[in-house]
A and B are shown apart, each in its own frame.
Chain A
Amino acid sequence: MRRSVFLLLLFRGISAAARALRTVAGEQQSIGPALKLPLAPNSVRLAIIGDTGTGERPQFEVAQQMETFRRAFAFDFVLMLGDNIYGSKTPEDFKKKFERPYETLRTAGAKFYACLGNHDDTSERLYQPFNMGGQRYYTFKNGNVQFFALDSNYMDPAQLEWLDRQLSGSGAMWKICYFHHPLYSHGKFHGSDLDLRARLEPMLVKYKVDVVLNGHEHVYERVKPQQGIYYFVLGSSGELRPHNLNPSPDTEKGFDTDRAFGLIEIADDRFHFQIISRAGATVDSGVLQKSAAKS
């Protein structure tokens, strides 16, 4: 029975003080724009943001921080974990809540790949800058990684069957699913979606999905591997519910005192991640190594 398929490696030289960062809070953070990613040749480089579409100042400030880090880490694309446009959805809203905040990144060539949150309308699948190809759920490949964008608002049998076909036919070394509602979360406001977990998790386990990325909960949380799958919840790139994380023994790391975004670099059998606050502080980082059992 496959259980622990990843080995979580801490970066070399990590200090005891830095280990204290594992506690949930934002009090202890390393300050500065230091990049903790290896910049390996031919790696897959991306950013992740969730629950962004407010159009308010914090969203712009996170976007500016992303621009700053992109100078050191030229990510090619950005995964949007849902709630891309809050509230009304007029053309002006698309400008205010998406186009203006990320204008510099988009002009520089970063592509955005969205999934739908509960505050999104299904018609957003037709908004070309979200690169959904007109579909509620879709997949794309980059290097040795295959991404599966799901619509967790409406996980109907047709979508589950589609996912089964896509995962079973995938030969990618890394399989990463992203969708809005977390299967595992210790946020006080929502928590885990148990019904979605009951239907979706068996398939993720069966096809050895490596990493799942979610939003919805307006905090950051990295959950200890569940049945061999790493879960990241990042729903605080625009919205935030301060002090809303109720850490459990399954919480590997959390951050709930400011907005955040994530950078990911996948190089061969290693998945490097760095979560960065609106102020530019690294609030979590590490590397997951794919075990032979999961390849």
Chain B
Amino acid sequence: MSPATLLFGLSVFAQGDVNPQAAALQDFEKRIGEYVSLQKRLQKGLPSTKPTAEPQTILDGQHEFARKIREARSQAQQGSIFTPEISKEFHRLLGLARAGSNDAHIKKSLERAEPVRLTLHVNDAYPANIPLQSTPPTILMNLPRLPAGLEYRIAGHALVIRDTVANIIVDLIPDAIP
């Protein structure tokens, strides 16, 4: 196949079909962007999150922010960000992350990170007395980046998006990790 034919083929693909993987990631970015906009809107009027020697001040700020988010997302359910299409794409990306020798490293890292067994739901607080399992860096390298204030976490077999400021579960894929 000549380069010209190849370019023509790509052009047709770009103008016609939508790459479902790219579309899923675009949709994911849009949904995350909407969540971040919500965060910013709700943070107005809350005390600033500057360092303080008073843990109660930190807790109060976290709880008040979480209350506002729960109120604004009272209808949010599992899948509000991880739609079936986005979940499918994340399963694919997680599979890529575990390719080759990475799989053994990731498995061992997960085993040695004090795996947690808990069932989480959207808008739950992550329990303070349960350790946060570390997320293997190779997994993080293969997933779309999240803006500050959001993070991916592994909880048992689930891949979770956690709001780190409000300490609440934004959404999850329950069976993401074998």
Contacts and interface: CB of A to CB of B under 8 A. Distances in A.
Q: What is the interface residue range for chain A against chain B?
A: 35 or more
B78 interface: no
A118 B51 contact: no
B145 interface: yes
A158 B106 CA distance: 19
Contacts of A198: 102, 105, 137-138
A128 B52 contact: yes
B67 to A, nearest CB: 16
Nearest to A130: B51
A156 B112 contact: no
B43 interface: no
A226 B81 CA distance: 43
Interface residues of B, number: 36
Contacts of A122: 132, 151, 164
Interface stretch (A86-94, A165-173, A242-250): A86-94
B12 interface: no
B129 A91 contact: no
Interface string A127-162: 111001110000000000000000011111110100
Given A89-B55, A193-B112, A194-B108, A121 B138 contact: no
Contact of B108 (A154, A160, A195): A195
A37 B54 CA distance: 36
Most buried by A among B50, B55, B128, B135: B55
Contact of A127 (B53, B129, B137): B53
Interface stretch (B20-28, B33-41, B56-64, B68-76): B56-64
A123 B137 contact: no
Interface string B134-153: 11111011000100000100
Contacts, number: 110
Contact of B151 (A154, A181, A190): A154
B112 A190 contact: yes
A127 B56 CA distance: 10
A126 B50 contact: yes
Contacts of B136: 195-196
A228 interface: no
Nearest to A122: B164
Contacts of B55: 89-91, 93-94, 127
A193 B135 CA distance: 11
B112 A126 contact: no
A195 B105 contact: yes
A199 B132 contact: no
Given A128-B52, A195-B106, A196-B109, A123 B131 contact: no
Nearest to A152: B134
A155 B109 contact: no
Contacts of B104: 194
B49 interface: yes
B133 interface: yes
Contacts of B50: 126, 134
B59 A90 contact: yes
B135 A154 contact: yes
B145 A157 contact: yes
Ranked nearest first, the 3 interchain pairs of A and B with the lowest CB-CB distance are: A195-B109, A199-B137, A155-B137
Interface of B: 49-56, 58-59, 62, 102, 104-106, 108-109, 112-114, 128-129, 131-138, 140-141, 145, 151, 164, 167
12 contacts: A87-B129, A94-B55, A122-B164, A134-B51, A157-B141, A181-B134, A190-B114, A196-B137, A198-B105, A198-B137, A199-B137, A199-B141
Interface of A: 87-91, 93-94, 118-123, 125-129, 132-134, 152-158, 160, 181, 190-191, 193-196, 198-200
Given A89-B55, A123-B167, A198-B137, 10 more contacts: A118-B131, A122-B132, A126-B52, A153-B135, A154-B151, A193-B108, A195-B105, A195-B106, A196-B109, A198-B105
